[in-house]
Amino acid sequence: MRNDQEPCCIVKLIWPIVILIRLIISIIFGLLSGLILGISITIWVCLLAILRTPASIIKMVYLTATTTEKVFTHRCLDYPLRIVVLILIPISRLLFVGGLTLYCIIFGTMICIEQLTKRMWTCEWHDWSIYDDIKELSQVWSDDEDEDEYFRTLYVLKCLCAMVPGILLGILPFIPFAIMVLLISLYRLPINIYKTMKVALFTVVLKWDLKIGALLILPVIHVVFILVVFVTALIGSFFHFVYVTTESITNSESPFHRWDVFRNGLEKYYEGHQNFTGENQLGRFDHPTGIPSGWRGETYQIPIQRILKWQWDFLVCCFLLLISLPICFTGSLVIFTLKLVPSTFKLWMNVCEHIPIYCWPCTLLTLLLTPAGVILFSVLSIVAGTLKSFRVPAVYLVKGYGAGLRDPFAIVGEVDRWDCFGVGVGCRVFQCLPERPIHRNNETSEESKLLADAYWDRFASQCILSTSELISKGWISLDDVESIEPALVTAIPAIGILEVLAGSANNTEAQDDEDILWTIDGTLSKREGRPRFDNMASLFWPKVMSIKRLLDQKIENRKVFAEAHNVQVLRAMICNNAEHISFELNVFIDRSNIEDEHQSNSSTNREIRSRLIELTLMLLRVKPYQDRMGAIFEHKYGDTTSC
């Protein structure tokens, strides 16, 4: 029994040596035979190419001289280009033969070494025929039937030759084009400066400090814009005209065929200046009220308190950065230094497991380059970990001093979790360092937006209720509402504002002058409950209060201007702005003698109406009302249940 086991033990001991010897023999055989075979194939291909070169040159010369449809024609500059291409054909062919030979000696030899090493190792020779590969390569040079390859080569040569006249002719228009762009910019400069400074002066979007800054800097911006546009036109037009001229010459067209961009480009540039001052751009802000169309309430100013806080935050951020940089650098250096050796061995194991043994040149090269790659990647990782310390100021700005002081150690913990070389996430140097995410909080602005949206929704409901009452009284018609009559566009929101303010003036719950009672749902808006972050409320509130104070005026201890009859008079005065008014409204106007200027309340009522119309014109420019305007005019007023 013991004698039977001895041969097996001997085989187990000898077998690794046999495998090693076989591997060495395969490598030596593949290297020597691959070099011999690669050089032989290169010599064969080079000789074949040299033998085919005269015939190829003759054929290309023949095609160049005789073709009249492909590549060359009888138009424009094709005659001189044809002569130049005839001269360049032998040179291009010889360069091609040299490049092909170089390709075969380098890449062909490497492929032969790999194939022969693989087949010596696997002993699989039956499915590989060198003769078939050489025959297939030879057929590339023996195929005379396909002339498209020759035409493609001629087209490339023609393109190269066309670049010379393309550059010489293309430089002619680019300077006049740039000068015309400069003249257009100078011509439009006065109107651009006037329009932009007018908008900056009267817009409600900018506060007084930014208005002053804008008025001072706008002339400088316009001058710099002219210089930038001139330089851009000078450089861009040079490359454009050279390109289109070269392309036209290559396509057998007139060199000036595509120079129409000279006129079209100048026209588009001039139209761009006109559009800048037109209705869709500057015209959107150029309104007597100073309110841009679709305004959402945003305003901009120079925040002095914020600037002081930014200065303090900047000093704190610099201090935290000075602390976090050495911590993150030292931590990253320790982490990747300790992980250097395990990472190298792990990558060596992956290389040995996944690359076949017959690809020994690639395996050997990879094993030699792996340590250098690990070191380089570790250095880059140390740099990346150090750069992550620039996150610390952001953490301080969001979460405060404590989070800013703790975050450098959290960054080291995150870097420690990087599994760059597949060692495993559990392989960590600093197990005690946690990873701390950053959370942001925007509760205040969200609550302010919801509060403002609720006000706008109540106002839209009030406008719908006022419109229903006007239709039921016959003062306006349903057809005018459905067709969005221009007079009603201003009348309906003005009456809605009047109803809200009159109801607030007459209600005892609204004790403070700035309290507003929404009679549509009974909500009482106190002064301290107004949205603090709504710029539209800040703009409209003084005008709303001026109207409410007029309605609150007392004559003989009575708020006569907020009484029901006077409110009806004000409603009639607002509706009396159309070219044609209804019979019912006309009867009320005549009976109330509204147009009599000698009545006691006439002057105050006219002032209230003027301020309501002024506020309405501003209201029509803002986005929240524009979004709800469709709901007001598209409401089903004819349905008695909907009101």
pLDDT band at 442 (very low <50, low <70, confident <90, very high): very low
State how far the Cα of 283 lies from the Cα of 378, in Å rounded to an integer. 57
Q: Do residues 596 and 482 share a domain?
A: yes
Do the Cβ atoms of 387 and 365 come closer than 8 Å?
no
3-state secondary structure of 579: coil
Alpha-carbon gap, residue 618 to 541, rounded angstroms? 12
Examine the domain organization and report whether 369 and 263 are in the same domain: no
**Amino acid making up residue 422:** G
Q: Would you say 177 and 262 are in contact if contact means Cβ atoms under 8 Å apart?
A: yes
Give the least confident one: 296-300, 469-473, 627-631: 296-300
The answer to whether residue 439 scores a pLDDT higher than 70 is no
Last residue of a domain, one of 285, 315, 335: 285
602 plus 463 within the same structural domain: yes
Q: Is the pLDDT of residue 144 over 50?
A: no
Whether residue 111 is found in the same domain as residue 65: yes
Q: Kindly report the average pLDDT of the chain as a whole number.
A: 79
Shared domain for 22 and 81, answered yes or no, is yes
| Mean local confidence (pLDDT), 122-141 | 59
pLDDT attached to residue 17: 77
Q: Which of 419, 413, 412 is nearest to 347 (CA)?
A: 419
Same domain, 461 and 569: yes
Comparing 100 with 235, which gets the higher pLDDT?
Answer: 235
**Three-state secondary structure string covering 198-228:** HHHHHCCCECHHHHHHHHHHHHHHHHHHHHH
Please name every residue paired with 300 in a beta bridge, in sequence order, or none if there are none: 206
* Residue 82 tokens, joined: 């044809």
Query: Sorting pLDDT into bands at 50, 70 and 90, what band is 142?
Result: very low
AA letter at 203: T
pLDDT in tens, 584-599: 888 888 787 776 666 7
- The answer to whether residues 518 and 587 belong to one domain is yes
The 3-state DSSP class for residue 295 equals strand
| Predicted local confidence at residue 265, as pLDDT | 86
User: pTM for the full model?
Assistant: 0.51
Confidence of residue 438 (pLDDT cuts 50, 70, 90): very low
Is position 163 within any domain? no
User: CA-CA distance, 352 to 344, in Å (whole number)?
Assistant: 12
Structure confidence at residue 470 (pLDDT): 86
478 and 598 together in one domain = yes
Q: Which residues are within 8 A (CB) of 584 and not within 5 positions of it... i.e. 6 or more apart?
A: 473, 474, 475
- What is the torsional sign of CA 505, 507, 510, 515? negative
- Count CB atoms within 10 A of the CB of residue 134: 15
Residues 179 and 135 occupy one common structural domain = no
**Range name among 125-129, 289-293, 427-431, 559-563 with the lowest pLDDT average:** 125-129
Model pLDDT for residues 549-570, shown as the tens digit of each residue: 888 887 777 787 778 888 888 8
* pLDDT value at 424 more than 60: no
Asked whether the predicted pLDDT for residue 13 surpasses 50, the reply is yes
Q: Mind listing the pLDDT tens digit for each residue in 493-545?
A: 888 888 888 887 777 666 666 778 777 777 777 766 666 556 777 777 788 88
Question: Which residues, listed in sequence order, are joined to residue 523 by a DSSP beta bridge?
Answer: 518
Q: What is the Cα–Cα distance from 307 to 301, expressed in whole angstroms?
A: 11
| One domain, residues 141 and 42 | yes
Please report whether residue 281 resides in a domain.
yes
Spatial neighbors of 218 by CB under 8 A, at least 6 apart, are: 193, 196, 197, 200
Q: Furthest-apart CA pair in the chain: how many Å? A: 140
Q: What share of the chain is helix, strand, coil (3-state, %, to 5)?
A: 75, 0, 25
585 vs 596: CA distance, rounded Å? 16
Question: How does pLDDT run across 210-241, given as a tens digit for each residue?
Answer: 888 888 999 999 999 999 999 999 998 899 88
Closest CA to 612 of 531, 551, 536: 551
Task: Report whether 582 contacts 475 (CB < 8 A).
Answer: yes
Q: Rg of the chain over CA atoms, in angstroms?
A: 43
The answer to whether the CB of 349 falls within 8 A of the CB of 424 is no
Average pLDDT (111-134) is: 71
Distance in angstroms (rounded) separating the CA atoms of residues 385 and 383: 5
Q: Are 269 and 179 in contact (CB under 8 A)?
A: no
Question: How crowded is the C-beta side of 575, counted as CA atoms within 13 Å?
Answer: 29
List pLDDT tens digits, range 57-66.
Answer: 888 777 777 7
Structure tokens at 421: 């070389």
Q: Quote the CA–CA distance of 402 and 101 in Å, as a whole number.
A: 69
Of 118, 95, 99, nearest to 107 by C-alpha is 99
Query: What tokens appear for 249 in the block?
Result: 């010459």
C-alpha–C-alpha distance, residues 261 and 495, integer Å: 56
In a domain, 6, yes or no: no
Residue 423 is predicted with a pLDDT of 59
Report how many domains make up the chain.
4
Average pLDDT, integer, range 284-311 = 77
d(CA 53, CA 141): 9
Chain centre to alpha carbon of residue 621: 28
Alpha-carbon dihedral 25, 28, 32, 33, rounded to 10 degrees: 40
Q: At residue 252, does pLDDT exceed 50?
A: yes
| Cα 12–chain centre separation | 66
**Residue 443: which pLDDT band, with cuts at 50, 70 and 90?**
very low
Which range has the worst mean pLDDT, 145-154, 284-293, 610-619?
Answer: 145-154
Please state, for a pLDDT cut of 70, what percent of the chain lies above it: 84
pLDDT at 328: 87
Task: Tell me, yes or no, whether 94 lies in a domain.
Answer: yes
pLDDT above 80: residue 456: yes
Q: Are 470 and 574 in contact (CB under 8 A)?
A: no
Is 299 part of a structural domain of the chain? no
Owner of token pair 């910019």: 185
Instruction: Give the pLDDT score at 573.
Output: 86
Do 368 and 230 lie in a common domain? Answer: no
pLDDT digits 0-9 by tens, 403-417: 888 888 888 888 877
Residue 162 domain flag: no
Distance (Å) of CA 218 to CA 210, 279, 507:
11, 20, 51
Which residues form the domain of 311?
A: 304-416
For residues 178-189, average pLDDT: 92
CA distances 567 to 110, 313, 374, 472, 563, Å, are: 98, 55, 84, 17, 6
Q: Is 590 part of any domain?
A: yes
pLDDT band at 185 (very low <50, low <70, confident <90, very high): very high
Q: What is the pLDDT of residue 511?
A: 62
Q: Mean pLDDT lowest for which of 1-10, 201-210, 240-249, 322-331?
A: 1-10
Structural domain includes residue 422: no
Contact 471, 637 (CB under 8 A): yes
| Same-domain pairing of 280 and 308 | no
- Nearest partner of 551 among 600, 504, 619, 491, judged by Cα: 504
Mean local confidence (pLDDT), 337-355 = 75
CA 222 from chain centre, in angstroms, equals 25
The confidence score (pLDDT) of residue 585 equals: 80
What secondary structure letter does DSSP report for 524?
E
